[in-house]
Structure 1
Amino acid sequence: MLLVAVVAVVMLLAGVGVFDRSGHPGQPGGAGEEPGAENVVDLNRPFALTPAAHWADGEAGITTPPAMQVGEFSAEEVADATRQVKDVLVASRLDPAMLRDHNPDRYLGMLAPDVARQLRPLFGSGNERQVQALVSMIDNGSRLLPAAPKVKGSMRVEAGKAGELVVHTNYVFAYAFTADDVALPLDPMSVIVVVRADIEYVMRKGARWAPGSLGLWYEKVDGFYYSISCDAYAKGFIASDYHDRTPTRTKAKHDKVTYFDPEADIPLESGCPS
C-alpha cells in the first residue's frame, strides 16, 4: 500500500516581538527621545549598529553540514538533500521573486508535488498569513535597501522514519528597509526586520510513498518576527515598524541581542495585538 504524506498548511509564527524604541507604543521613532548621533542609522550601512553587523550576506550565511551516510540515505543523497534545503531557504527567504513579487513558483517547484499543491492556493489569495512561517514576503509599498539581507544559523540532519531523512534548519534573517519620508533621526532597528525560522524539512524516498509524496516536505515549524510592522504581519507580510499605524503594542521582554540569536529559546510573548 502506498503512503500519502499529509501536512497542515496553516502555519503561524509563534511570537512577534516589536522593538519599542521610544517608550511610546504605537509611535516608534516618533514622540519619544530622539536617538543620539552615535545610534542613528546609516542607510548605506544599515546593519552596522546591530547584532547582524558581521553576519554573512544572503545565501552565504546558509551552510550545509558535511556529507555522510545517515540511516538508509547515502552520503551523496544526504548532500543532495541538504543542497535542496538550502535552495528552498534561498527561494523562500532571499529570492526577489518571493520577497518582492510574491511569486511562489520557484519555491513550490522545489517541494514534493503534494505539498506544493496544498500551499499554492494560499499565495495571492489574501491567505498569505497561513504561509508566513515558511516564506518572507515584503508588504506592498515597502522596499528593501540595496544591502543584502544578513543570515546566521545552522543546519543538521538525522535519520527519520523508514524512507525519511530529517533536515533541521535554524536561521535568523535580517532585512533592511528604506526609510522614506521620515524627518526625525532613526535608530538602526527602525529599518531592520528580523525573522527567526526554525523549520524541520523531511526528504522522502522509496516505493512505500505515493509519487506525489516523494521529495521535500516541511513538518515542524517554529519561529518569530522581531521589529516588524504589526499591520504588515497581520496580512502575512513583512515591513519595518517605524510607520506602523497599529495603536498599541507590548514592549519586548528581552534585549535585542536575544532576538538575533538563533540559539536562543523561542520567546513566548507577542508584541502585536491579537
Structure 2
Amino acid sequence: MSDKPAEESPSHPEIPDDVWEQFARDTERDIRASAPKEPSARAREVTGRLKPGKGEEPPGWRTGPAWQEMNGRAGRKRRAWAVLGVPLAVAAVVVAMKPSVIPGDPFGKGGKNGDGSPAAVAPLAPETAAPTAAPSAVDPETPTLDRPFAGSPALSWADGEAGIVLPQAKAVGVFSKDQVQLALKQTEKLLVDANLNLKTLAGARPATALSVLDPQQPGMIEELNTSLKTPAKTHDPLNLFSRFDPKHIRLVGDVVKTRGRITFKEGEHSGVLIHTDYTFVYPVVRTNGSTEVTRTIVRRVIDLELLDPARYQVTSGRLHVDHYNSDFGNSACEIYDGYFHPEFSSPSTSEPAGPAPSGPTTDPYDRSKDIGGENETCGTVSRT
C-alpha cells in the first residue's frame, strides 16, 4: 500500500501530501514504540503410528495379548501468538481512518452497519476439500467479551457441532452402509466430546470420547487414562483433548468456532479408514476478573479405523486409533500439566510461562498445509 491515499471523488476532502506523509511517519513510529514483545510459545511434532506397514499382519490383533510399545503415541506442535508486523499495522490504521484508499469492501460483511453496529457475517459453506490457501486477512479488531471472534477468520466459521458435517455413508468392503454410518457417528461423538464439550474444556474426563474407542486396542485406553490422571511430556492429554485449567482460564461464552472435514475409504486391512481434519478456535479470558480476551487455535488430524471382527480381535462397532497429530496456536511452550496456557498481552505472575519462541512464524488458520514432520522447536503464530 502506498503512503499516499488513492485519488478520491470530489465528495471527500483532499488531504495535502505533506500532512499525509507526516501522519504515516508518526503512526509507524508510535506503533514500533508500543508493540509488545513476542510471548512464549511451544512447538513439538512427532508422528505416532499404531498400525503396521502395508501388507503386514497386525501383531496381537488376531491372536490377542501383547502389543508392541507405542511409538511416539501422538504428534503435536505448539506455538504461541506473535504481534502483527508494523507495515500491516500501519495499513490497518490508514484504512480505519480513510477506507476509501482501497477499492471495494475489503472486509466484506464483517464491516459496520449504518448505526455503527457490527454487520452480520455470512457463514462459510462446509469444507469439502483442502483449501488452496490460508484465509484472507481480516480487519484486525480486538476481541471483546461481546465479540470474542472479532478480527478472526473464524468469525464466519460454523459454531461448534454445526461445523462437523458427516459425509454420506456408503458400503465399504465387508461393512454395510449402516455400519459405516455408525462409525461416522462414533467419530462425531469423539470430536465433539474431545474438543467442544464445555465440561471437557474445563478439565473433566471426556467419557463419551473414550467410550467410542476400542478397549481391546492394546495400550490406547491405558495411555489416555494415564495422560488424564498424571499428565506429562510422555503422555499428554492435549494430544487428543482440549482442556483449560478452570482455576485460571474460562471460555468466553459457549461457542467454539469449528472448521474442517471428514472423509473415509477402505483401509489397508480391509477396514473403514476415517480421516478427520479440524481446526477449533477457543476464545478465553482469565478468571481473575480481567476482560482481556485472547484465542487459542487447535488443529487436529486423526485417522480412525473400523476393523472387521471376523479377522481381528476387536470390539464390534468401536474405533481403533491409527494416527493422531495436533498443532496448537497460542499456548505456552513446554508445559505438560494437561492444560493449554494461552498468552495474553498483559503479564500474569500466577500462570506458568514456557521458554521464548525460537521457531518459525506460521498462520494457525492456514488449513491448506499438512501438519507433520519432526520439528520440535517453539514457534510463533502470525495471528489469533
TM-score normalised according to structure 2 size: 0.58
Q: Would you say 1:20 and 2:82 are equivalent positions? A: yes
Deviation string, structure 1 residues 41-90 (Cα, Å, up to 9, x no partner): 22211112111111101111111111112222222221111111011111
Higher gyration radius (CA): 2
Distance change >3 Å, CA 49–CA 165, structure 1 → 2: same
Deviation string, structure 1 residues 146-205 (Cα, Å, up to 9, x no partner): 14111100110010134511000000011111145587x95xxx6100111011011123
Cα distance between partner residues in 1 of 2:354 and 2:317: 46
Number of the residue aligned with 1:143: 250
Distance change >3 Å, CA 106–CA 180, structure 1 → 2: closer
Identify which range, 79-88 or 207-216, moves more after superposition: 207-216
Give 1:266 deviation, angstroms.
2.1
Residue 2 of structure 1 contacts residue 208 of structure 1 at CA under 8 Å; is this kept in 2?
A: yes
Cα distance between partner residues in 2 of 1:138 and 1:20: 21
Number of the residue aligned with 1:28: none
Number of the residue aligned with 2:37: none
For 1:51, give the aligned amino acid. Answer: P
Residue 18 of structure 1 contacts residue 252 of structure 1 at CA under 8 Å; is this kept in 2?
A: no
Q: Would you say 1:2 and 2:83 are equivalent positions? A: no
Cα distance between partner residues in 1 of 2:354 and 2:183: 45
Cα distance between partner residues in 1 of 2:379 and 2:353: 8
Distance change >3 Å, CA 166–CA 12, structure 1 → 2: closer
Number of the residue aligned with 1:121: 226
Give me the identity figure in percent: 24
Cα distance between partner residues in 2 of 1:159 and 1:42: 45
For 2:226, give the aligned amino acid. Answer: P
For 2:62, give the aligned amino acid. Answer: L
Number of the residue aligned with 2:211: 109
Of the three residues 177, 180, 185, the one matched with 1:78 is 180
Residue 102 of structure 1 contacts residue 124 of structure 1 at CA under 8 Å; is this kept in 2?
A: no
Once the two structures are superposed, the pairs formed by residues 107-256 of structure 1 within 5 Å of their partners are: 107-114=209-216, 115-127=220-232, 129-141=235-247, 142-180=249-287, 191-212=294-315, 215-230=318-333, 233-242=335-344, 243=348, 245-246=352-353, 248-250=355-357, 253-254=360-361
Give 1:252 deviation, angstroms.
6.5
Any idea what SS the aligned residue of 1:108 has? helix
Any idea what SS the aligned residue of 2:364 has? helix
Cα distance between partner residues in 2 of 1:171 and 1:87: 14
Residue 17 of structure 1 contacts residue 225 of structure 1 at CA under 8 Å; is this kept in 2?
A: yes
Once the two structures are superposed, the pairs formed by residues 48-67 of structure 1 within 5 Å of their partners are: 48-67=150-169
Cα distance between partner residues in 1 of 2:355 and 2:268: 46
Of the three residues 185, 190, 193, the one matched with 1:88 is 190
Residue 78 of structure 2 contacts residue 378 of structure 2 at CA under 8 Å; is this kept in 1?
A: yes
TM-score normalised according to structure 1 size: 0.79
Residue 274 of structure 2 contacts residue 305 of structure 2 at CA under 8 Å; is this kept in 1?
A: yes
Cα distance between partner residues in 1 of 2:330 and 2:287: 17
Distance change >3 Å, CA 94–CA 191, structure 1 → 2: same
Deviation string, structure 1 residues 199-251 (Cα, Å, up to 9, x no partner): 101112322222458620111112210011336x4323113211465264226
Residue 171 of structure 1 contacts residue 197 of structure 1 at CA under 8 Å; is this kept in 2?
A: yes
Any idea what SS the aligned residue of 1:202 has? strand
Give 1:264 deviation, angstroms.
2.0
| Structure 1 spans left out of the alignment, 5+ residues | 24-34
Of structures 1 and 2, the one with the larger relative CO (CA 8 A, separation 6+) is 1
Cα distance between partner residues in 1 of 2:245 and 2:71: 21
Q: Would you say 1:266 and 2:371 are equivalent positions? A: yes
Cα distance between partner residues in 2 of 1:140 and 1:10: 29
Any idea what SS the aligned residue of 1:122 has? helix
Distance change >3 Å, CA 49–CA 3, structure 1 → 2: farther
Number of the residue aligned with 1:31: none
Cα distance between partner residues in 2 of 1:171 and 1:83: 16
Deviation string, structure 1 residues 80-124 (Cα, Å, up to 9, x no partner): 111110111111111123221331322211111123344323322
Any idea what SS the aligned residue of 2:265 has? strand
Cα distance between partner residues in 2 of 1:125 and 1:135: 14
For 2:301, give the aligned amino acid. Answer: D
For 1:137, give the aligned amino acid. Answer: R
